[in-house]
Structure 1
Amino acid sequence: MDKNLENLNNEIPKRILRKRRNSSRQKIMILFGVLFFLSGFCGFVFGLFTPTKNISDLLTPNFMAQPAKGELNLVLFGIDDVDETHRTDTILWLNINTNDKTITMMSVPRDTLVQIPGHGYDKINAAYAYGNTELALRTLTNFIGVKPDKYVILGYKGFMKIIDAIGGVDINVDKRMYYVDNWAHFTIDLYPGMQHLNGLQSLEYVRFRHDALGDFGRMRRQQEFLLAVKNQLFSSPAMITKIPDILKVVLDNVQTDMSFNDALSWALAVKDIVNQPNFQIKRIFLDEGMVPKYAYGVDYLWPTQKVVSIIKSVFPNANPDVPLTFPFPEDKATYNSVNTVLQKATQNQTTNEAQNKTTTKNGTKTNVNNAKSTVNENQKIPSPNNNTITLPQR
């Protein structure tokens, strides 16, 4: 076992700052760090880096962060702690490179078929449930062929609290989203249009996958949401007044092995990168190289050789461990049927996105409660059966 992975949870630094009177310069520095990490790019990194929960301990005139140099690979795990399954429903890999001034955001589908050490072939989102942070990181490292430098773990409950702390997010909901999960006691009920979402509504938005595109669509919405959070935070001068409340919520709701010093240094590095003219974050979706497969009543996303090519386009020296041969007897009839639906849904999604961009230019923000009165209840999407499946012994 990699010794570095064994020590991932033991790298919590000791108190790094003493109590001093806060200066405006340090407040601005902290604000940027908070806003950047709250944007989801380096994700909510202040969780367990220090034993103190006193904000004044973090704001010290003697602390002078310098922009980081080089390359950072950071992984954000979104954990389902609402229904207590503790699977990683979101796996987002962020690569920051100060040498070529780029930021790349790569989504790994939760249903990706991988080999989990000690547990055989399974979906990648099961690794955390089997062995917590260490096994999730080890599995992801083997699959991508590159070891993450740092990690951040955020549960759904913490996600809702953080979004509420920053005052919610403006987002253009692209379609009617309705789904009732009786087993998890969770309902998704959103209407189309530009609107301001609170923490619970935001969770509904990023969790929704009950349409023809399934997890493919959800991953794209999650990245869109993170970009919307970033835009919201950086466009609001009043956000500085929320620093103490935001920091406290973040401190209470995240886990990370990233130190406070590193967090601010990389925040400053990102500031330099994003200030370039016409800068855009590169967005990568591994599902573009995956094929739906079905076996034993379970649906998987099987990575093909194209996934290897996509990974190597980001990390040329990577050595991905991809199961290029599907290890189970598959239900080909189900695969052919669903694959046809996905192809049609992808075409429709492209058309809808183009139409939404045109509408948003001339559109106005709609309150989610008012929007509900303008949509006929008959437009609700029928709730599919709960698709939680108990995996067979193998």
Structure 2
Amino acid sequence: MPPKKIKTSTKTTNRKTKKPLIKRIRLGRLLLVLILLSSIVYGSYIVISEIYSWGSFKYAQYQEAHPSKPQKPPIPPQFTDKRFENYTNILFIGIDDKPVEGIAESGRYADALMLVSMDHTNGEIRFLSLPRTIKTSIDGRKDPEYLSFTYYYGGAPLTVNTVSQLLNIPITQYVALDRKSIAKFVDTIGGINLYVENNMDYEDPVSGTSVHLTKGYQHLTGDMSQQYLIFRNDDLGDIGRIQRQQKFAKALFEKMMSLETIPTLPTILDIWENNIDTNINILDISNLINLLDTLSTTEIKIKMLPGNLIPTGDWVPDNARVEQEINDMFPPVPEDAAEE
């Protein structure tokens, strides 16, 4: 009688062969993902470097045909403090074209103010909005006046120095632009996507103001952006407008980080050169790349100067909360470090 054949379990054999196979497949997929990620990161770095080199070259060509205006000098630091050594503080000033109410001569005033502070130690960027209806001491004026009047009295330098004294923060750089410049900038980058909180309808034939926006997710052009930014005819008035300005600024920075804005760099440089009052040299391409790299990896956080709205429409800073906010933005230097 022939010997019986010993049967082996096919299930056991399959399990033994499948486990190494599954491991190899998973390892292969992981390696493929890592290779793709490495390629994307390296490729992005090369593309960005080439693009900004191209942008620098294009602007150099533009300068040959259109000599640039003299570079405005930095504003001297209002005071020195070791606490602020690792920060770059820039004041963004939105300028209105309308006459200043209550002043005999017509002039432009600061319609929106936002401090941008960059921490060079960790790459963080902080935004702090300042209501234009803050009454404060202004050099050359006998009594406290609205912060918005500083641009009328002394341009960007006086506005910068006044904000520096108000916050006790050294500020040396500024960017001042009006609504037309903002509209040009938005149209150049192809508009921005933003959710409009409510229907906005307002007409003022005297000033020529016309606002008509529909509630909902919108693709804002330059003109629509102007309407969104100037509207203040709701229950919150100026405070609601500041909140919209903060939201707009965040959406604008996010759009700037998108690849579709890259071909517009030469036009952006042209707008910067001819339509903006600033003492920042945007042609320092290495600093621009570092800034964009930081913005692309940093969550945009925008806050408003703490305070209270009183019946007259003035915004009265809450000194205790302002001090806390400034300490959060610029942590005090330990005494032993300050003495070194």
**Smaller-chain TM-score bracket:** 0.5 to 0.7
Q: Are residues 121 and 31 of structure 1, via their aligned partners in 2, closer, same or farther at CA, if it must alter by over 3 Å? A: farther
SS of the residue corresponding to residue 183 of structure 1 reads: coil
Q: Which structure 2 residue ranges, 5 or more long, are not aligned?
A: 1-45, 69-84, 100-105, 334-340
1:226 aligns with 2:226: no
CA distance in 2, matches of 1:157, 1:178: 20
1:303 aligns with 2:317: yes
CA displacement at 1:55 relative to structure 2: 8.3
Aligned residue among 162, 180, 187 for 1:157:
180
Q: Which structure 1 residue ranges, 5 or more long, are not aligned?
A: 1-22, 34-45, 58-68, 319-394
Residue 72 of structure 1 corresponds to which residue in structure 2? Answer: 88
CA displacement at 1:133 relative to structure 2: 1.9
Q: How many percent of aligned residue pairs carry the same amino acid?
A: 27
CA distance in 2, matches of 1:290, 1:239: 39
CA distance in 2, matches of 1:266, 1:317: 27
Bigger helix fraction: 2
The AA in structure 1 aligned to 2:145 is: D
Q: Are residues 272 and 167 of structure 1, via their aligned partners in 2, closer, same or farther at CA, if it must alter by over 3 Å? A: closer
| Contact 1:163–1:169 under 8 Å retained in 2 | yes
| Contact 2:55–2:266 under 8 Å retained in 1 | no
CA distance in 1, matches of 2:248, 2:53: 23
Aligned residue among 247, 250, 261 for 2:269:
247
CA distance in 2, matches of 1:30, 1:257: 22
Q: Are residues 55 and 215 of structure 1, via their aligned partners in 2, closer, same or farther at CA, if it must alter by over 3 Å? A: same
CA distance in 2, matches of 1:74, 1:269: 16
Q: Are residues 242 and 55 of structure 1, via their aligned partners in 2, closer, same or farther at CA, if it must alter by over 3 Å? A: farther
CA distance in 1, matches of 2:168, 2:224: 36
- Aligned pair count reads 260
Aligned residue among 265, 270, 273 for 2:291:
270
The AA in structure 2 aligned to 1:108 is: L
Residue 260 of structure 1 corresponds to which residue in structure 2? Answer: 282
CA displacement at 1:311 relative to structure 2: 2.6
CA distance in 2, matches of 1:53, 1:138: 35
1:282 aligns with 2:296: no
Alignment RMSD? 3.1
CA displacement at 1:114 relative to structure 2: 0.9
CA distance in 2, matches of 1:225, 1:307: 24
CA displacement at 1:145 relative to structure 2: 0.7
CA distance in 2, matches of 1:81, 1:292: 26
| Contact 2:255–2:261 under 8 Å retained in 1 | no
Aligned residue among 69, 88, 111 for 2:133:
111
**Matches for 1:1-394 after TM superposition, within 5 Å:** 28-29=51-52, 52=63, 54=65, 70-81=86-97, 85-119=107-141, 120-235=143-258, 237-262=259-284, 264-276=285-297, 279-286=298-305, 288-294=306-312, 299-305=313-319, 306-316=321-331
- Structure whose CA Rg is larger: 2
The AA in structure 1 aligned to 2:116 is: L
Q: Are residues 129 and 30 of structure 1, via their aligned partners in 2, closer, same or farther at CA, if it must alter by over 3 Å? A: farther
The AA in structure 1 aligned to 2:290 is: A
Q: State the Cα deviation string for residues 57-99 of structure 1 (Å, max 9, x = none).
A: 9xxxxxxxxxxx9421011101002566411111011011120
CA displacement at 1:314 relative to structure 2: 1.8
| Contact 1:291–1:304 under 8 Å retained in 2 | no
SS of the residue corresponding to residue 280 of structure 2 reads: coil
| Contact 1:31–1:240 under 8 Å retained in 2 | no
Q: Are residues 143 and 196 of structure 1, via their aligned partners in 2, closer, same or farther at CA, if it must alter by over 3 Å? A: same
SS of the residue corresponding to residue 179 of structure 1 reads: strand
The AA in structure 1 aligned to 2:213 is: L
| Contact 2:108–2:151 under 8 Å retained in 1 | yes
CA distance in 1, matches of 2:294, 2:51: 18
CA distance in 2, matches of 1:207, 1:141: 26
The AA in structure 2 aligned to 1:179 is: Y
What TM-score results when the alignment is normalised by the length of structure 1? 0.59
